[in-house]
Amino acid sequence: MITFIPLAESHIALMHRWLSDGEALRWYGRQLATEESLRQKYLITKPQTGTRCFIVQYHQEPIGYLQYYRIGDHAQYCSLVGAGPHDYGMDLFIGRDDQIGRGVGTRIVAAALKELIFAQADAERCLVGPSPENKRAIRCYEKCGFSYIKTVVTNDGEQEHIMAVEKPKRPLPPTLLSQRG
């Protein structure tokens, strides 16, 4: 079972541990950070921009982080990726390397689309931007219905493989939902 717990002060040490090693550092953090810099970024700066931040739990164990936001609230990025007024963005990582490659990421993305992003009344599409080299993440998003749009270079010089999925006209297929537990 996947659950999303709003990020709190009590999660900062865990975030620091996840972003200091392994796949989370390689693909998400990309540079070491202090607990204080994580506190500032995830508990103060991001919420001020409308970003919703969560710890992801799998069978009641914290295993990762997820955030989502209305892309239009970030004008420069919105222009870069060509987002519309009803597009949302999502970023996530699995912080426990022992949970990678087991289908958990697909379950997280499917649950986030249904329970968080497409639960927003104005959401019509979700965009993600994994690194073009992160083939595992790209495959995960493809399994959840995302399609490639284009590759962009962000202000920090990083490439993003922009992918999108439309809000379903009807509920997600039972096969995706049954994989959640």
Q: Residues 126, 55: contact at Cβ < 8 Å?
A: no
Residues 154-179: tens digit of each pLDDT:
988 889 999 999 999 866 565 555 55
pLDDT score at 181: 47
Q: In this structure, what token pair is assigned to residue 77?
A: 């990025």
pTM, two decimals, is: 0.88
CATH number for domain 2-178, candidates 3.40.50.2300, 2.40.160.60, 3.40.630.30, 1.10.760.10:
3.40.630.30
Distance CA 15, CA 51 (A): 17
Q: In this structure, what token pair is assigned to residue 169?
A: 């006209």
pLDDT score at 180: 46
28 contacts: CB under 8 Å, gap ≥ 6: 19, 65, 91, 93
Domain ranges of the chain: 2-178
pLDDT score at 139: 95
Cβ atoms within 10 Å of 38's Cβ, excluding its own: 20
Beta bridge partners of 90: 68
pLDDT tens by residue, the chain, 181 residues: 999 999 999 999 999 999 988 788 878 766 778 999 999 999 999 999 999 999 999 999 999 999 999 999 999 999 999 999 999 999 999 998 888 888 999 999 999 999 999 999 999 999 999 999 999 999 999 999 999 999 999 988 889 999 999 999 866 565 555 554 4
Mean pLDDT for all residues in the chain: 91
Q: What is the DSSP string of the chain?
A: -EEEEE--GGGHHHHHHHTTSHHHIIIII-S---HHHHHIIIIIIHHHTT-EEEEEEETTEEEEEEEEEEGGGSHHHHHHHT--TTEEEEEEEE--GGGTTTTHHHHHHHHHIIIIITTSTT--EEEE---TT-HHHHHHHHHTT-EEEEEEE-TTS-EEEEEEEEPPSSPPPHHHHHTT-
